[in-house]
Amino acid sequence: MGSTHARWHRWRVVIALAAVLALAVPVAAGAVTSGRYLAGDFHTHTYLTDGSNTQLQVVQKAFDEFGLDWMANSEHGGTSKRDAFGNPIATTWRWVTLKTQSWPLIRDLRAIYSDKMLVQGVEWNVPTHEHASVAIVSDEPTSVSDFEYMFDASDKDTSRPGMSKDNTSHAGAVRAAAWLQANYPKTSWFLINHPSRKQTYKISDLRDFNNAAPDVAFGFEGLPGHQKESGRGGYDNGPFFDAAGNDVTYRARTYGGADYMVAKVGGVWDALLGEGRRFWIFVNSDFHNTDGDFWPGEYAKSYTYVLGRGYQALVDGMRSGNSFAVHGDLIDGLKFQAASGHESATMGETLRVRKGSNVRVTIRFHVPAKNNNGDAPKVDHVDLIKGDVGPKAQPGTPAYTNETNPTTAVVARFSSPSWVATHRNGTWYTVTYVLNNVDRDSYLRLRGTNLGINVPNETDAAGNPLIDDLVGPNDAQKAYADLWFYSNPIFIDVQ
């Protein structure tokens, strides 16, 4: 009976793959002849851990229906208790199923969706912290499987002779980041997932990781997944208290769908950028099932500028910081540039200017005609946010635990009277602004929203998003009514 059942499942997969193959376009992987922004999602799950769908079903939704150009599988580390089709199996270490169950599907689907990119990753249970997405892009699963075995806090297996484990401390987590930096500095990423959800990440931890692996630990989910859950983002834990006994549960909540580290102007993200750290914001679905999650690409998209073709170009693009994060297809195109004289820079880059120079800022964004909720998105306003850049905080100093940048502020706000519209497959809007007499190192970043100022329970008088608890239990319609996008920064270096 069992062997018949297994054969039936294998045959079902063959039929499903054949159906997809008939629709697939046979183009080289990541077919890009010049630079363009690719939409992606690096945090998704299937039956192999705690998801509710096959890898094929997730990929079909992401690529065929919701327009992603690339995505990553990132099942939890530790163990698997189901096979790739949801059937119970004897508890198996995750480093094994990465090789024997997940990778074969990824490999086969890569061949079918040859015009897309599909990455094998893992959701790392970070020792003494919560989660992070790790991937090592390659044509084999051994590297990421070895990483999971050695460093995942939930992997208790000790069966592999000659392979040490370091998965019980923050110092071990830092060594794991350093291992990625030493062995896969150009082909891996380590991105913090839902950073404030359980209050296990301090800014000093983020600095530790970025110091140990600057080419690998280069960002976080500033806009977490689970955007349909009743506690938006899955941020409904607590209460939480800091070392002094203060109630900090408010930090473990989303604000307009964003993590507190990002939503608070002058907060954790701005403190990191204020040191000149190349630490970027991303968004994804954290897809498990349709009860609390949108499908990959349905609601959340990270747009990354990829120059060239293939998986290495994708990782290079993510590391570059030339990317922006969007909810609800509020926009699907962004060109953000700062220029002085004949020099210019875009997101993730540095504009070098003489002291006292003026800097021209150009913002162009594209609003699609319709999003996946059937709505016609409308941007109410875009904020230009500026902060000063100073020295990098050093371990052991008070600055290393400082989580604010008091110089950060909204320096300009643009709404419909400020921009010029060009209609083409939706609408491009363009606005220009001049920063006069720039006299110190700084950075510029953007946020935009469909909401106005002082919207009850949604935004305050300064246009900042309010805690999402105020609207009551979240659902899909509330998420679509509260849309934001965030850009990565442009740095300005005053000579």
Residue with tokens 């297996």: 157
- The reported pLDDT for the residue numbered 426 is 80
- Whose CA is closest to 475, among 288, 230, 236, 258? 230
pLDDT digits (tens, 9 = 90+) for 427-441: 999 999 999 999 999
Domains annotated for the chain, with CATH where assigned, are: 33-494 (3.20.20.140)
At 48-62, the pLDDT tens digits run 999 999 999 999 999
Q: What is the mean pLDDT of residues 65-81?
A: 97
The pLDDT, as a whole number, for residue 15 is 35
Q: What is the pLDDT of residues 101-159, one digit of tens each?
A: 999 999 999 999 999 999 999 999 999 999 999 999 999 999 999 999 999 999 999 99
How far apart are alpha carbons 460 and 458 in whole angstroms?
A: 7
Angle in degrees, CA 309, 313, 317, rounded to 5? 130
Global pTM?
Answer: 0.92
Q: pLDDT confidence of 34, banded at 50, 70, 90? A: confident
Q: What is the CA radius of gyration of the chain?
A: 22
Percentage of residues of the chain with pLDDT beyond 90 = 92
CB atoms within 10 A of CB 406: 12
CA gap 309, 359 in Å, rounded:
33
Q: Compute φ and ψ for 297, nearest 5 degrees.
A: 85, -15
| 484: three-class secondary structure by DSSP | strand
Tens of pLDDT, residue by residue over 439-449, are: 999 999 999 99
Number of alpha helices (DSSP H) and beta strands (DSSP E) in the chain? 11, 24
Higher pLDDT, residue 445 or 6: 445
